[in-house]
Structure 1
Amino acid sequence: MPSPVPIRDAATVVLLREMQDGPSVLMGRRGARAAFMPSKYVFPGGALDPVDATVDFAAPLDAAHAETLGEMAAPLAACAIRELWEETGQILGRPADWPEAPTGWRGFARTGHRPDAAALVPVLRAITPPGQSRRFDARFFLARAEHLASDPDDFDRAEDELAHLHWVPLAQTDALDLPRITQLALHEVRARLNDPDPTRPMPFFHGTMEADIRP
């Protein structure tokens, strides 16, 4: 019997921007040879790195959101901001010197910013169902593009993990090849646009992608 696939903590950012065609989200396509979700359009995100637990924020995650996420709140928020930076070149941060930035964050620090966790709102949690080559316990954060400290149309500093980075109108996302969890995240984003109540509970999808509603 093969060993079970370990479940790794991860974070994803749904970056939302008001544009001429309506609310839009930043997405990119994974490579055709990727071990996980090949050729699918996804949001920027990835696995938690141990260094994410050492990050000194310019502004912390809102206290209510931190309570929702528990002891992993700060590392997950840092992971989300780091993955956004690495995969898109976008800076969710505030101007500040950061000479003591840890390895893995020094490129971000050289932009003259520290990460801004206050811009993040946790909206969904999902665990990859069994049977996948990789499994993640992913927390999806919503962030507004107006909180970016970078040009939202400049992806020159992005690494090569995602191709065809672009802003997709929410009304047109169904035309893309999306993983099931990305579809669920988009559904939650649309629901929050229609119901901006900050106390809205965060769905938790696990196993067969059935949801528990967690406060």
Structure 2
Amino acid sequence: MTDSPEVRPAATVLLLRDSPEGIEVFVLVRVAALAFAAGATAFPGGGVDPSDATLPEPAPGQQDVVAELHAAIGIEGADQIVTAAVRELFEEVGVLLATPERGTLPGLDRREHWRAEVTAHRAGIAEALADLGLRTDLRGLRPWSRWITPPGPPRRFDTFFFVAGLPEGQEVALGTTEADTGMWATPDDLLRQGEQGLLQIMPPTASNLLQVGRFATVAEALEFEADMEPVQPQMLSGRGEPLRVRVGEVEFTADHPRGNPA
């Protein structure tokens, strides 16, 4: 019998914006050759990095905001998980949950330089923000859910999902090599495409889309106080069978076999 793989902490962000069709979320379609969730539709995110132990400076007057955020997450190391969320959003879609100490955001060339440095693990997000003259602005970031990969897959994560509003004046700029494409869409539209087999949507993604789709605006979603009790799905399918898991009384399916990393 082989030992179960270590469960790694991770952070994932549902980046939201308002639209005439309702609330929209940004998703990535992951590269088919990846070792984890290959080809799946996912939100920006990834594992906590050692560099996340160095915390960025918060904007003036936001100490209470940061403390409330850490308390809502409710575990030791909450500060590093929040830092990972900020970093992953910057790495994968170029969005900064930060505000300038003075003036406006630095120019795109400087931001992209530091984005490349952070992505290549030559610098942490704290160093990048300090050089850019930015402090984290976490008023638009809220914990949303927590999912733990069940035993079986070769990689397991304790993933903290967040929701965040797209900061005013910023746009998404896809930059990760882990995704082929990215798009804005309503939760209902994404779930519909998943049902039609046009997108591969994993159970945690489907569940979080269902939850965020209940809200008409980003402001409403950010006001919601989510239950951060960990969810560990019960695996129903065997290897080689279509992935099926149960969470409470709800069953989720995915159209790829369980043998693929999930």
TM-score over 0.5 for the pair: yes
Aligned length: 204
Unaligned 5+ segments in structure 2 are 103-117, 194-198, 235-245, 249-262
Indicate which of 163, 180, 187 corresponds to 1:163: 180
Give the structure 1 partner of residue 237 of structure 2. Answer: none
**Cα gap change, 1:207 to 1:171, in 2 (>3 Å):** closer
Q: How does 1:1-215 map to 2 (within 5 A)?
A: 1-59=1-59, 60=63, 61-69=65-73, 70-96=75-101, 103-105=123-125, 106-145=127-166, 148=167, 151-152=170-171, 154-155=172-173, 158-174=175-191, 175=193, 176-191=199-214, 198-208=224-234, 210=247
Q: What amino acid does structure 1 have at the position aligned with 2:247?
A: E
> 2:91 aligns to what SS in structure 1?
helix
Tell me whether 33-42 or 112-121 shows the greater mean CA deviation.
112-121
Considering fraction of residues, name the structure with more strand: 1
- Whether the 8 Å contact between 1:10 and 1:47 is mirrored in structure 2 is yes
**Partner Cα distance (2:179, 2:131) in 1:** 23
Q: What amino acid does structure 2 have at the position aligned with 1:170?
A: P
Could you tell me how far 1:190 is from its partner in structure 2?
A: 2.5
**Cα gap change, 1:94 to 1:24, in 2 (>3 Å):** same
Could you tell me how far 1:160 is from its partner in structure 2?
A: 1.6
- Whether the 8 Å contact between 1:125 and 1:204 is mirrored in structure 2 is yes
**Partner Cα distance (2:2, 2:51) in 1:** 30
Cα displacement string for residues 3-62 of structure 1 (whole angstroms, at most 9, x for unaligned residues): 211100000000110013221001111110111110001000000012212112324544
- Whether the 8 Å contact between 1:77 and 1:120 is mirrored in structure 2 is no
- Whether the 8 Å contact between 2:187 and 2:212 is mirrored in structure 1 is no
**Partner Cα distance (1:37, 1:162) in 2:** 11
Could you tell me how far 1:87 is from its partner in structure 2?
A: 0.8
**Cα gap change, 1:185 to 1:64, in 2 (>3 Å):** same
- Whether the 8 Å contact between 1:13 and 1:142 is mirrored in structure 2 is yes
**Partner Cα distance (2:180, 2:133) in 1:** 26
Could you tell me how far 1:119 is from its partner in structure 2?
A: 2.3
Could you tell me how far 1:109 is from its partner in structure 2?
A: 4.7
What is the TM-score of this pair, normalised by structure 1?
0.83
**Cα gap change, 1:162 to 1:111, in 2 (>3 Å):** farther
Q: What amino acid does structure 2 have at the position aligned with 1:86?
A: E
**C-alpha RMSD of the superposition:** 2.6
**Partner Cα distance (1:43, 1:199) in 2:** 20
**Partner Cα distance (1:29, 1:18) in 2:** 21
**Partner Cα distance (1:207, 1:171) in 2:** 22
**Cα gap change, 1:149 to 1:163, in 2 (>3 Å):** farther
